Structure 1
């Protein structure tokens, strides 16, 4: 693995020496025409070293290309993405990773835009990874966050990447984690991961962020009733949005109700007390307070060691999930399993063989062929 240090970059747009080892901009044969061809090649088909050096410069176009490789299921893309990530790894980990989920209509996009704008104004670089719902039939996704965050997407200190979940939570687990690393290497110090907002995706995202926030609104009690034990125990803060106008007093009442419930739940993070707060993303009220809560959380958990402990456990969990995913792929792609699976499936459905015996036979064929 190449040992790269973050270099001092030239501002001269014609200086290509940092991209091409052994070729300087003063080389006799390196004409204006060849520079033009090189820049075209860099744009269309960057090498691993091109990717790494450009990402470390904060090149958002190349960062997007790298994340596209990370999200791709093509084997050659996977291999190249892993090479890139291996080189970028020393430059990762220096961000606050925030997960945000919420009930339908809670105003997540409005909140994230207002929150992101505040951080950008304060000198932070913010990356938003929005995990969009995908059709389990067509595989298409609703990539609408860029159009809903018009101000934030235009900010030079912000980067928004809508990523389809492709209907598989396992894909979110690996691809989003690796996208976080790429964004950190590009210099983004606040990473926001917006969840799909359905079922187990919250658990997946909780396992890859430092601070997890539940965004809700007044009257959402019925929607949360069936998942209090699930989502509320994952949250480091609950924020009641749309606390403005005639709704302000209702939002305050909802905040108090949540705090009563939270009093009886186990905290999501050791040594931290989860509480409910109010804000109005539309008018920007309470957004500064949310950031203050997060910075207080970071200080508290860094001092107690809970922050470092969580990161270590997450890395361990990531490794085990990758092992499980790789084994599953290996099993289902196995030539003998592919041939026998439909036969055993039919036999199980018709009651001619027990499920356990069918599985045992399939694994016997798998391991036999592997040997």
Structure 2
């Protein structure tokens, strides 16, 4: 029986191809425009052709591709890093170790702010300006992971249509959640991958509604807080702990009828900052204004960031912060590794259901439960199961 196909077309598809759209719909097989599951290549359906096997990349392929600045290889390398599979974890770490000598040269900028502050629009305008000036810009957006569904929307790239099409730019949305490190490890390692690929400005965007801001602060050189008008009085601002992390505050959407309010808000933030210790020794935090729509204030903001780099490099604060961040990373990896060793230990996993039941029944306290489980945990037994990920051929017997 001949299969009939229906024709469907998304409402947002442009009538003609043009540079105003960041995405488009592929026509697919000629004569077949159905978007349902049954729309497959007839040659595949009849068995005359087999699907191509996905190319399995070696460590050398990843390293060579990233160093050449190939964006497809860089994307696949980041996917390897984000994988929660222990097998992928080991391979990713070996690739990263080989790329490490090519990292550390980029300016790392963290940008945060409440939803609706216009961060993505501002980053696009800011990134386009930097690309026009000859820089290569990588934007890493950290998207919150739902505690209910364990999923992330990862939609920030859609707000950066023009920047995403530039060859000098690379945009990567990443989930904050997941095992083996979450935002702390994966964002750091993704940032290093981008540096090895030749990007000299790394921007990490995060939504200012959780603990990820403190984590991002610990991996960037300059931390920018994007705010809106009507933030409250001076006392309300002092209570916002995130202001203590910022090297600069920028009032966005300073245009049109909102310009006067933006000037008032900037003055309020300046007064707030008088009561807060600067986030970086020797660098006074100030408030600025910009408009992502009218492209105003962005050049001035870039001059502020360059001035920050020059000031802190001369004072030695720049290198001290980088050294401190490396040690913080090492300490967090120790915590993570010990956590994984504990909960993956077969003796612990065998005893855990009974101990949990006793805690829920009120037979023992949580403190007693922890003491019993830690007593059962044998570090030497756990270490015996580990394989040297940097020398996989030397498995421990």
- TM-score normalized by the length of structure 2: 0.80
Matched, 1:240 2:243: no
Aligned length: 330
Identify the residue that residue 32 of structure 1 maps to in structure 2: none
The Cα shift of 1:167 comes to: 6.0
What secondary structure sits across from 2:215 in the alignment?
helix
Which of 302, 306, 317 aligns to 2:317? It is 306
2:63 counterpart (23, 45, 52): 52
1:349 Cα shift? 2.5
| Equivalent residue, structure 1, for 2:214 | 203
Tell me: CA distance 1:368–1:237, structure 2 relative to 1, closer, same or farther (3 Å).
closer
Does 1:350 pair with 2:361? yes
**Which runs of no fewer than 5 residues in structure 2 stay unpaired?**
1-51, 383-397
Mean Cα deviation higher: 66-75 or 45-54 = 45-54
> For 1:315, which of 315, 320, 326 is the aligned residue?
326
What's the offset of the Cα at 1:227?
A: 7.9
Per residue, is there more helix in 1 or in 2? Answer: 1
1:285 aligns with 2:276: no
Q: CA deviation at 1:198?
A: 1.8
The question of whether the paired residues in 2 share the 8 Å contact of 1:136 and 1:167 is answered with no
Question: Per-residue deviation at 1:141?
Answer: 1.3
Does the CA contact (< 8 Å) of 2:238 and 2:275 recur in 1? no
Mapping for residues 177-188 of structure 1, pairs under 5 Å:
177-188=188-199
Measured in 2, the distance between the counterparts of 1:131 and 1:285 equals 26
Which residue of structure 2 lines up, in the alignment, with residue 83 of structure 1? 94
Whether 2:175 is the aligned partner of 1:164: answer: yes
Match of 2:138 among 127, 135, 150: 127
Partner residue, 1:336: 347
Partner of 2:273: 262
Task: Identify the residue that residue 80 of structure 2 maps to in structure 1.
Answer: 69
Question: Contact 1:255 / 1:278 at 8 angstroms: preserved in 2?
Answer: yes
SS at match of 1:101: strand
Residue 370 of structure 2 corresponds to which residue in structure 1?
359
| Deviation of 1:166 (Å) | 2.4
Per the normalisation by structure 1, the TM-score is 0.85
Measured after TM superposition, the shift of residue 55 of structure 1 is: 0.8
Whole-angstrom distance in 2 between the partners of 1:165 and 1:130: 9
Following superposition, which runs of at least 4 residues in structure 1 exceed 3 angstroms of deviation? 167-170, 224-229
Larger Rg: 2
Q: Does 1:191 align with 2:205?
A: no
User: How many angstroms does 1:214 deviate by?
Assistant: 0.3
Give the whole-Å Cα distance in 2 for the aligned partners of 1:142 and 1:228.
Answer: 30
Unaligned runs of 5+ in 1: 1-39
SS, match of residue 378 in structure 2: helix
Take 2:78 and 2:378, find their aligned partners in 1: how far apart are those partners?
35
Contact 1:165 1:171 in 2 (8 A): yes
1:230 to 241, 257, 263: 241
Tell me the SS of whatever aligns to 1:62.
helix
- Matches of residues 131-146 of structure 1 in structure 2 within 5 Å? 131-146=142-157
CA shift for structure 1 position 139: 2.2
Q: Secondary structure at the match of 2:135?
A: coil
Shift of 1:56: 0.7
SS of the aligned residue for 2:209 comes to: coil
Query: 1:78-102 CA deviation, whole Å, 9 max, x = no partner?
Result: 1111111111011000000000000
Q: Kindly tell me: are residues 368 and 210 of structure 1, through their superposed partners in 2, closer, same or farther at Cα, counting changes over 3 Å?
A: closer
Q: Which segment drifts farther, 314-323 or 325-334? A: 325-334
- Show CA shifts across 1:109-138 (max 9, x none): 100000000000000000000011222232
**Residue 169 of structure 1: how far off its partner (Å):** 10
Cα deviation, residue 58, structure 1: 0.3
Question: Whole-Å Cα distance in 1 between the matches of residues 57 and 74 of structure 2?
Answer: 11
Question: What is the Cα-based RMSD across aligned positions, in Å?
Answer: 1.9
**Deviation for aligned residue 1:196:** 3.1
Q: Which residue in the other structure is 1:272 paired with? A: 283
